[in-house]
Amino acid sequence: MVILRWMGLAGALMLPLGAVHADNVFITVASTTSTEQSGLFAHLLPSFEKVSGVQVRVVALGTGQALDLARRGDADVVFVHAKSAEEKFLAEGHGVKRYPVMYNDFVLVGPKVDPAHIAGGKDIVAAFQKIRATQAPFVSRGDRSGTHIAELDLWQSAGIDIGAEKGVWYRDTGQGMGPALNTASSMNAYILTDRGTWLAFRNRGDLAILVQGDRRLFNQYGVMLVNPATHPAVKKEMGQRFIDWLVSSEGQKAIASYRVNGEQAFFPDAEQPGV
Amino acid sequence: MVTAGDPRLVQIVALSLRVSLSAAFIASAIGLPLGALIAVTPFRGRRAVIVILNALMGLPPVVVGLLVYLLLSRAGPLGAFGILFTPAAMVVAQVILIAPIVTALARQIVADGWEEYREQLQSLGATRARLVATLLWDLRHSLFTVLLAGFGRAAAEVGAVMIVGGNIDGVTRVMTTAIALETSKGDLPLALALGLILIVIVLALNAGAYAVKETAQRRYG
Amino acid sequence: MKVGPSHAASILPLCLEAIFFQRGGRDIIDGISAQIVAGPRTVIVGPNGAGKSVLLRLCHGLLQPTAGVVRWSGPDVRNAQQRQAMVFQRPVMLRRSAFANVAYALEVAGYPSRERAARAHEALELVGLASLSGHPARVLSGGEQQRLALARAWTLRPEVLFMDEPTASLDPGAAQEIERIIGAVHAAGTKIVMVTHNLGQARRLGDEILFLHQGRLIERAPTDIFFTRPASVEAVQFLKGELPW
């Protein structure tokens, strides 16, 4: 009696859920927190959805997690920024082809008091060495994201074996870009971040950009269709259509036109990729 | 976004309610009869079952999210249904989270009620199925609180729905994942405002339900 | 079709054969043998802790004896459980209307829905609750609830009606009304087996007395003989008020 009545109500509630699921004209894109949290997708997707009629559902994770998600066949397209990890993904047969789409750059932010005295410099490797030498607090993503991979590469370039040399000054947070920035902001620590997320980030506290413009801080984004031969459920036509649009002049213009607080956050380079 | 009537906010709130109420009703449809059955049926190992149920009340949402993700993933056993990153997947995760809570609390309430009703219902010769139905209906006012507790846990939960829903804008973004996202973006005032809205909604729902319960209890004794 | 007590083969007499009941290592019922036959109103009396309520529950099947046999009679013995009803000291009312409480008993007993309404109304009529039939049962007064419990039992037309101190929690006026209904139920052909600690009530309602003391059946006699010429020392003490009750 009561149970039946409740189940009826539950059934009524479930209907709209089913309706969402039945609408099948969508693709799932595994991407990074930097693209989602900088607001780029909110800017791009309506344009693509209008011309294609295809809904794009973005699951935002670190680059490593996003690639793992695609490895299980749970995404149709991956849109990430760690070339070495992307090439490994392709080599394993999970992706079809990598298309360079755009770049932005990493910046080193830190407290304005700047205990490591690195402000204004252009040499990111030298800055990392000074942070190590002064043992000034540094927050790391520690989550196999593209930013984390880039940070590890920079420590290596600086001749520092961070795995062996890290001490209490080096905070391995295992979080996304935003939460890691929150941590750095509350600790007044140095942190490597992509420019897009930084521009959109509100809880800056005393942090400011200290080092930028080094060629080694270049951050290339690539997009790949998940291999339908390996993962039959992949919606290859719609997925490829999204990729084609991103690298088309229309898509590239849309990327270039995105502004955060008046600043361009991403630079399209599908024609002449840097990497 | 927090201004009343913002369509994005309305959509997020509506999805939160739809997902968590669905989960609460489904978990109740499973947990209330199951809890009642455990309460009125003596069987070997009942103590162990009760201990396990109570322990399951503390299931970590992230673990549930991960398990449901692995089940619903394309590469998982239920991947063919294609419900990963949909509200349905979030409902599944929340049902798994709160069904033990509903079952354990219902068992306790029905066990207490059973003390009072046992001789009378046995005297009337009720079958076990009828015992369960009768007790559930007669204790409905108290059991309603169990439903609310389940809903509250479901609505407040973020770890599991983040993993199986993916926090997709306009599709699976609910109050808690929106709060987590705004916190990530460092927009703490907006995150806090969303949090307040969630609290107010849960509070209003509980107050309304409590009033209904009180009135009914006064009426039916 | 369901039939009243007068139409079916009787399940009486009820035979208690050397029954024992232990709880917590104590003998609550310590070897009772008796036959309870159709007709006379049987009233069980005895001091506190004599085992009266437990004996009633053993008869009704709510408790199983640790040793001995409780046996009903006749060809219809398999349905004995459906042919008896019980009214408890504190009535347990379901959270629904007075009418629905009576109809519930009929539903559980398998009466088709079209018969339930008429039967339930008839029972409410008998106990004088027809005007309150739509009221939530749990908000009725104690006396009304006990009358409703009697209606719920009577509507099943039981051949045997067990009652455990049905008026113990009621004021004298309400108790009097209950006694009137018990008389009417008995007059309509139902065997009454009742526990009471109210000796006046035992005298008024009982045709025969079973006197229990410390789990044993000490004395069994017609009511006037028990009260005027008790045969056992314990009964004499009990009637003088020298045993706790």
Domain assignments of chain C as residue spans, ordered by start: 14-239
Q: Which domains does chain A have, with CATH numbers?
A: 26-104+220-268 (3.40.190.10), 105-217 (3.40.190.10)
Report CB contact under 8 Å: B125, C88.
no
> What CATH architecture applies to the domain B7-220?
Orthogonal Bundle (1.10)
What is the pLDDT at residue A3? 47
Query: C233 Cβ partners below 8 Å, 6+ apart?
Result: none
DSSP letter at C138 equals G
What is the pLDDT at residue B75? 87
Nearest to B221 among C57, C104, C136 (CB): C136
Nearest to B123 among C60, C94, C96 (CB): C60
What distances in angstroms separate CA A54 from CA A26, A224, B161, one per listed residue? 5, 17, 24
What is the pLDDT at residue A263? 87
Report CB contact under 8 Å: B138, C62.
no
Of B187, C161, B18, give the one whose Cα is nearest residue A260.
B187
Q: Quickly state the pLDDT bin for B2 (edges 50, 70, 90).
A: low
Report CB contact under 8 Å: C85, B117.
no
What is the pLDDT at residue A274? 64
Span C37-88, pLDDT tens digits: 999 999 999 999 899 999 999 999 999 999 999 999 988 888 888 899 999 9
Report CB contact under 8 Å: C95, B137.
yes
Domain assignments of chain B as residue spans, ordered by start: 7-220
DSSP chain A: -HHHHHHHHHHHHHHHHHHHHH---EEEEEEEHHHHHTTHHHHHHHHHHHHH--EEEEEEE-HHHHHHHHHTT--SEEEE--HHHHHHHHHTTSEEEEEEEEEEEEEEEEETT-TT--TT---HHHHHHHHHHHT--EEE--SS-HHHHHHHHHHHHTT--HHHH--TTEEE----HHHHHHHHHHHT-EEEEEHHHHHH----TTEEEEE---GGGEEEEEEEEE-TTT-TT--HHHHHHHHHHHHSHHHHHHHHT-EETTEE--EE-SSS---
* Chain B hits for A204, Cβ within 8 Å: 186
Work out the burial of residue B189: count CB atoms within 10 Å of its CB; fewer than 13 is exposed, 13-18 middle, 19 or more buried.
Answer: exposed
Higher pLDDT, A18 or B35: B35
Q: Extract the tokens encoding B30.
A: 């499973």
Residue B214 above 70 pLDDT?
Answer: yes
List the chains bordering chain C where 3 or more Cβ pairs fall under 8 Å.
B
What is the pLDDT at residue A20? 45
What is the pLDDT at residue C200? 93
ipTM of the predicted structure? 0.89
* Chain B hits for A201, Cβ within 8 Å: 185-186
Residue B106 above 50 pLDDT?
Answer: yes
Substitution target from A4, A6, A48, A55 for chain B, most B beta carbons within 10 A: A6
Work out the burial of residue A167: count CB atoms within 10 Å of its CB; fewer than 13 is exposed, 13-18 middle, 19 or more buried.
Answer: exposed
Report CB contact under 8 Å: B91, A17.
yes
- Asked if B24 and B111 touch (Cβ cutoff 8 Å), the reply is no
List the chains bordering chain B where 3 or more Cβ pairs fall under 8 Å.
A, C
CA dist C41 and C186 (Å) reads 8
Query: C214 Cβ partners below 8 Å, 6+ apart?
Result: C30, C49, C50, C51
Q: What is the pTM of this model?
A: 0.84
Nearest to A203 among B32, B136, B186 (CB): B186
Low-confidence ranges of chain C (pLDDT < 70): 1-8, 244-245
Residue B210 above 50 pLDDT?
Answer: yes
Span B177-195, pLDDT tens digits: 999 988 888 889 989 999 9
Give the CATH number of domain C14-239; options: 2.40.33.10, 2.30.40.10, 3.10.450.50, 3.40.50.300.
3.40.50.300
Per-residue pLDDT of chain A (275 residues; tens, 9 = 90+): 444 454 455 455 554 444 444 457 999 999 998 888 888 999 999 999 999 999 999 999 988 999 999 999 999 999 999 988 999 999 999 999 999 999 999 999 999 999 999 999 899 999 999 999 999 999 999 988 889 999 999 999 999 999 998 889 999 998 888 899 999 999 999 999 999 889 889 899 999 999 999 989 999 999 999 999 999 999 999 999 999 999 999 999 999 999 988 889 899 998 877 65
